[in-house]
């Protein structure tokens, strides 16, 4: 998918997010969210990021090649933008919303500062305090790996909890393909019904080798199976 296509998909996804998750309110305005630090080459709003910089609501962070960028939030929550990835960050009433445009990210939520992720028309959020989880975009959806603590994945037709230490691959399809009687999209607007249905395919190994330092800990996210 090209850059313009990814931006268009993110815009559509944001509109659906508002329908899907009325409890997650994005906050407008030029709000400082914390800092972003490159680990190798990185870009902030298409400008090379060579040193730690303030990151604002609405900013986009990209990592060309095998590089990382780390977003540090005021209360200790973190977002690691993985290699060859693009993430847009927004202020939300309960913390920060990260829109994954391409690639992968690793999110750590501290109590009182929740990091939620919007990827492949799925809303991924921590279900337990202090959760550490990874989201990776794949061709037909996303892989969600709960490294520490449980993670909740929401779509138009259902909500799935990924237990701590487990990974699941979610395929996202037009709801017109939902099996009869599945009740996909019940109670949602026509626009939302036309976009998302979750199919849990199988448990998979955790995705993409991304070594990251989390304060005094070293976490490694390993490659997925086929």
| Per-position DSSP letters for 164-181, written without gaps between them | TT-EEEEEE--GGGSPTT
Say yes or no to pLDDT of 69 above 50.
Answer: yes
Backbone angles phi, psi at 134, to 5 degrees: -120, 145
Q: Is 112 exposed, middle or buried (0-12, 13-18, 19+ CB in 10 A)?
A: exposed
Three-class DSSP category at 80: strand
Name which of 30-44, 86-100, 126-140, 206-220 the model is least confident about.
206-220
The enclosing domain of 175 has a CATH number of: 2.60.120.1440
CA-CA distances (angstroms) from residue 175 to 45, 95, 138, 155, 204?
A: 34, 30, 19, 11, 24
Percent of the chain whose pLDDT exceeds 70: 65
| Residue located via tokens 């993409």 | 208
Tokens of residue 137, six digits: 């975009």
138, 127 Cβ separation under 8 angstroms: no
Q: What is the pLDDT of residue 81?
A: 95
191-222 exposure pattern, b = at least 16 Cβ within 10 A, e = fewer? ebbebbbbbeeeebebbbebebebeeeebebe
Quick check: is 80 in a domain? yes
> What tokens were used for 143?
């892989």
226 within a domain of the structure (yes/no): no
The two three-digit tokens of residue 55, written as one number: 């990151």
Give domain status of residue 136, yes or no. Answer: yes
Per-residue pLDDT reduced to its tens digit, 154-201: 987 788 999 998 888 888 875 444 333 333 333 334 344 334 566 776
Whether 151 shows a pLDDT value over 60: the answer reads: yes
Give the residue numbers spanning the domain of 41.
Answer: 3-221
Instruction: Give domain status of residue 138, yes or no.
Output: yes
pLDDT above 60 for 38: yes
Per-residue pLDDT averaged across 41-60, rounded? Answer: 95
**49 within domain boundaries:** yes
The token pair at 195 is: 């976009």
Q: Which two tokens stand for residue 101?
A: 């445009």
Please state, in angstroms and rounded to a whole number, the distance separating the CA atoms of residues 151 and 148. Answer: 9
Asked if residues 62 and 41 have their Cβ atoms less than 8 Å apart, the reply is no
pLDDT per position as a tens digit, 80-93: 999 999 999 999 87
Q: Give me the number of domains the chain comprises.
A: 1
> Does residue 16 sit within a domain?
yes
What's the pLDDT at 204? Answer: 56
For position 80, what pLDDT does the model report?
A: 94
| pTM (two decimals) | 0.73
* pLDDT exceeds cutoff 90 at 54: yes
Q: What confidence score (pLDDT) does residue 5 get?
A: 45
């Amino acid at each position: 998918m090209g850059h313009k296509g990814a931006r268009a998909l993110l815009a559509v996804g944001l509109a659906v997010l508002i329908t899907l998750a009325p409890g997650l309110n994005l906050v407008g305005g030029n709000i400082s969210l914390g800092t972003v630090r490159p680990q190798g080459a990185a870009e902030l709003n298409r400008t090379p990021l060579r040193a730690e910089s303030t990151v604002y609501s609405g900013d986009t962070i990209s990592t060309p090649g095998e590089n990382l960028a780390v977003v540090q939030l005021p209360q200790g929550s973190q977002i690691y933008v993985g290699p060859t990835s693009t993430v847009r960050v927004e202020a939300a009433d309960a913390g920060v919303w990260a829109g994954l445009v391409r690639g992968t990210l690793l999110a750590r939520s501290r109590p009182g500062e929740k990091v939620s992720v919007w990827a492949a028309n799925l809303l991924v959020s921590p279900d337990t305090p202090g959760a550490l989880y990874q989201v990776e975009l794949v061709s037909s959806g996303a892989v969600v790996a709960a490294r520490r603590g449980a993670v909740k994945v929401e779509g138009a037709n259902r909500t799935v909890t990924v237990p701590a230490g487990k990974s699941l691959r979610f395929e996202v399809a037009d709801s017109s393909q939902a099996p009869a009687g599945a009740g996909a999209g019940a109670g949602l607007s026509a626009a939302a019904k036309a976009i998302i249905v979750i199919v849990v395919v199988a448990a998979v190994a955790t995705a993409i080798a991304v070594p990251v330092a989390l304060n005094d800990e070293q976490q490694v996210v390993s490659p997925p199976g086929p």
